[in-house]
Structure 1
Amino acid sequence: MKARFRRTVAALGALVLSFTGTAAHAASAAQPGQTLGLPTGAQLPIGLILLDTSSFGIRDTSPVQSESNINLPGVVWVPGVHIFGGRLHLIYIQPVVAARSAAAGGRYQSGIGVPLVAAQLAWKLSGNFNVSYLLGGYLPIDTQFLINQGSIQQRFAATYNGDGWNVTGNLLYGTYLDATNKQGAFYPDFLNLDVTATKKFGKWEIGPVAFGSTDLPTNRLNYRHQGQVAVGGLVGYNFGDFFIQAYVTRDVIERNYGGYDTRGWLRSVFFLYKQAEPGAPMGGLLARNQP
């Protein structure tokens, strides 16, 4: 009984480390892979957008696997304002997470994560090439289950969206405002890279996706940096004002996570309202910018 209890605690600890960090481990405040499938470099249609990205993953930690469900509901407001020639997007995301060890009797623990508040500027350049820059922050929150530290978030994205393609690279760079929390957990700066290459066939969309994440170097001795690379495939369907995407990813490289993660993702995006731009039919605008 004691041995089984120790295995359960060890497995759940390995899982929570992947979200919370300790003196030996840390994690990205932004879930790696969360922007796959989205044309994050492109200008969005003027309006109000509701979205949710949900994922369920199993990490084959030893001696028992661990499970996690991560939900990222949010809202994007595009007021039609331009700054320095870039279209303004205002973004709010509130993570909700549940996780457990798969050992006998393992129960889910759940909690809310640090919310993201951000502003993004997106520029349409020559042809179908687009770039964007996001600046925002994850607000600190009083929770013992997830990362509770505040951090600055910068994202640099480029998107090609011609001929039905969505070829996007989104680089996420995070800096924690306080590198050490009250429990002694240490949080280094981090980098995530989400890469999408999908093609539309009528209302359908299909293509490969991949992401990577890594802690950045620190001056702490014996610090065990976390990192991973995952690959997968995406399929989506566009209903017009509402579209869905589903994708599956699998780690091919992992460092100090305790095992490889296999994760299924489901995203829904709903245009609560939208406004046509002067001289641009809404149908053509959506066709260019929706995933």
Structure 2
Amino acid sequence: MKSNTKALLAAAGIAAFAFSPANAYEAGYPGWASKPGVLIGASAGIPPPGIYMFNQVFTYQSNLVGPLTNAIGTHTGVQAAVDVQGFLFVPGWTFLGATYDAVLVQPFIMASIGGPLNLNPAFPSQIAGAHNTYIAPVELSWKLGTSGFAIKTGLGIYVPDGTVQGPTGLSNVGNPWWTFQPELAISYLANGWNLTAFLYEEFNTKNSVDGYTTGDIFHADFTATKTIGKWTLGPVAYYVGQVSNDSCAVGSLCGATPAAALAATGGNAQRFNIWAVGGLVEYNFGPASLSVWATQEISANAKNSAVPAAADISTITRGATVFATLSYRLWAPEEPAKPAMFHK
């Protein structure tokens, strides 16, 4: 059976990661679990029943910005190269009028950070390994009549099974905590248009090694594309920001005393905001579909209101992303056999 790869690309709820020392009080902690913009090109739609696979690769080339750069300079580079293998399961089930699907994703990461931070042993200049596995056991999509509008909601979970190293568990690309990521997509899908706002937020449990808890991270990915024949083109954008402060419990490794707890959270970017714009192009080959989008972060800032401005050493990345996705159907249910027709 010929696969509907265009529908797959529009529907796949996918997750990946890009290295950033965004709000770490400890070296090497990323500011987010899901790569900002990862759901660009996705929508609230669902492809036909089957098992689908998607392969993703992307590069993120950036420099540090924020108060810390007043001391270290504005040309400290942070780079990442990421490979992602994912599966989308669409069994054809419905619930409360919605179509059900599930997602499983495994990212692999290679990242580096430049000088002068890489001269500090606490900041490994290069890291590589498996990031936490992403599982979305439930996603539900509703079509709103014949209007072309659709809504999708679900829950993604990052399992703490990535490559974890170091005294705080943060010296490599894995995170020693769970991340729960509820999502909401609102789409207009008619006449070749995909106009989608995909909203999702990361809620983290505490670091199982030292007890530190990262604040909530909010994402919004925007797609406005038009399909003409086998080609799809259009502008895209994303926003990511930390919307609640980090915390460090007294009595934990990161906060053995009230003073230590304050010190642990005092050097962080308790809040950061990044905006990016770019474009997407896709070609549908039939058996598979290839999508490429690129974005430039046009605004990035970080601050910590818990400390005096002169003592704030917050930092965040600002850079460019090139992101490619190849998607295809691995299996589809057999079509019912048609009754034989006999004629005299």
TM-score (norm 1): 0.81
Within-5 A mapping of 1:117-196: 117-118=135-136, 119-126=138-145, 127-141=147-161, 143-144=164-165, 145-146=172-173, 147-178=175-206, 180-183=207-210, 185-196=212-223
Question: In the alignment, does 2:39 pair up with 1:58?
Answer: no
Within-5 A mapping of 1:65-76: 65-76=77-88
Question: In the alignment, does 2:133 pair up with 1:115?
Answer: yes
Please say which of residues 259-268 and 100-109 is displaced more in the overlay.
100-109
Give the partner amino acid of 1:73.
Q
Distance 2:246 2:324 in 1: 38
CA contact (8 A) 1:242 1:269 kept: yes
CA contact (8 A) 2:59 2:321 kept: yes
Question: In the alignment, does 2:297 pair up with 1:270?
Answer: no
CA contact (8 A) 1:76 1:92 kept: yes
Partner secondary structure for residue 332 of structure 2: strand
The answer for the alignment partner of 1:87 in structure 2 is 99
CA contact (8 A) 1:46 1:277 kept: no
Give the partner amino acid of 1:55.
F
Give the partner amino acid of 1:156.
L
Distance 1:16 1:157 in 2: 26
CA offsets 1:17-48 (integer angstroms, 9 cap, x no match) = 14x83369762221111110122x11221111
Question: In the alignment, does 2:247 pair up with 1:229?
Answer: no
Change (3 A) 1:96 1:22: farther
Change (3 A) 1:185 1:111: farther
Change (3 A) 1:73 1:205: same
The answer for the alignment partner of 2:70 in structure 1 is none
Distance 1:169 1:30 in 2: 16
Distance 1:60 1:27 in 2: 14
CA offsets 1:73-99 (integer angstroms, 9 cap, x no match) = 210010001111111101101111111
Give the partner amino acid of 1:195.
F
Aligned CA RMSD, in angstroms, stands at 2.6
Distance 2:246 2:282 in 1: 43
Please say which of residues 86-95 and 53-62 is displaced more in the overlay.
53-62
CA contact (8 A) 1:23 1:186 kept: no
Distance 2:108 2:75 in 1: 27
Give the partner amino acid of 2:177.
Q
Alpha-carbon distance, 1:64 to partner:
3.2
The answer for the alignment partner of 1:205 in structure 2 is 232
CA offsets 1:203-243 (integer angstroms, 9 cap, x no match) = 00100000111111227564422321111000000012310
Structure 2, unaligned runs of 5 or more: 1-18, 65-73, 119-123, 166-171, 248-264, 303-314, 337-344
Alpha-carbon distance, 1:108 to partner:
3.8
Change (3 A) 1:253 1:45: same
Give the partner amino acid of 2:35.
Q
Distance 1:218 1:49 in 2: 38
Change (3 A) 1:216 1:166: same
Alpha-carbon distance, 1:276 to partner:
8.4
Give the partner amino acid of 2:223.
T
Alpha-carbon distance, 1:245 to partner:
0.5
Q: How many correspondences in the alignment?
A: 261
Alpha-carbon distance, 1:181 to partner:
4.4
The answer for the alignment partner of 2:3 in structure 1 is none
The answer for the alignment partner of 2:259 in structure 1 is none
Question: In the alignment, does 2:75 pair up with 1:17?
Answer: no
Partner secondary structure for residue 43 of structure 1: coil
CA offsets 1:258-282 (integer angstroms, 9 cap, x no match) = 442111111110111235899xxxx
